[in-house]
Amino acid sequence: MALSLTILGSSGALPAIGRYPTSQHLVIQNRHFLIDCGEGAQMQLAKLQLSFHKIDHIFISHLHGDHYLGLMPLLFSMHLHKRATDLHLFSPQGLDEMITLHLKHAKSALNYKIVFHPFDPNKIETLIDNEILTVETIPLIHKLECAGFLFREKRKPRRINKEKIIDGLKLQQIASLKTGADIFDEQGNLLYKNESLTLPPRPSLSYAYCSDTALNTQMVEQIKNVDLLYHEATFAHADLAKAVETKHSTASQAAEIARQASVQKMVIGHFSARYNRLDLLLDEARSIFKNTELATEGTTFTLQD
C-alpha cells in the first residue's frame, strides 16, 4: 500500500450530527500529512488511532475557520507530548500571524519549531519536491483566496526480480540495478543487463485535494488522470443558486470536473448541514461520474501501487 487517505471531517461550515469540519490524514510511502485542520481534528485522530506524532507537514487550504480552527489545540497537544522535531506548516499568508499572536497572549512557547511556508493561492506553487514526491498548490475559486493540493509520487525504482537474482551481487550493484543501470566490471565489460534482473517500477500514484471552490474548469488540466480526487460537493443541484452565492460546488459540478479530468476515482465532501442524508449527493454525482464515494468520517481510501 503506497497511499492511504482517512477522512477526519466531512462537514461544511456548520457541523452536523456525526460530522466534523474538514480535515484529512494522508499517508504516502510512510510519510504522514494533515490536510486542513477543522475543529476536533485531534479528537478524530485519537478516535481513529492515527498518531499525530508522525505528522511533520500540515497543509491549510484557506483561512475560513472550518478549515483551521482545530490547529491550535493540535499544536498545544504536540507541545504537551514533548514534540522536539520541526513541524512544517503550509498556508496562505496570515496563519503565521494568528498563531504567533495566540502564543504571545497565552504567554506560551512551544517545545518545537514551526516552519511556516506561506504560499500564494492564486498561482501554482511547488511546496515540496523531494526524492519521494512533489506537492503543488491548485488555485481554486472561493470567497476567500483558497488553494487545493496535488500530491504526486515520483518515478519509483525498478524492482529486483527475486527469481533471477544472482548470488554474489554487491549492495552497490543492486542499488545501481534499481536505478535502471546495467552492471559492468572494472574493465567496462557488461556483466548483467538491467532488464534481465529487474522488473518495471511500481506505478506512481497521485492525489488531488480540491477544497472549497466554485465550478473551476481551469484546474482540469492540472489534475488530469489523477488516481484519486477529493472535490467538495457542498450542495445538491437543486440548491445551485446557493452554491453560486457562496462560491461552492454542487455534487454534479464536482462530478463534471472528475469526468473532464478523467480521474480514476473521486470522493466528495464538505457537505452542507442542510442534508441529513447524503444519498442525494452521492446519486447526483454518480449519474455523471460513476466511480464516486462519500468522504465520510472514519472512511479510509487506499491505493495499491
CB 117 within 8 A of CB 127: yes
CB 122 within 8 A of CB 139: yes
For 249, the grid coordinates are 460546488
The two beta strands, 228-232 and 55-59, are unpaired
Residues assigned a catalytic role? 66
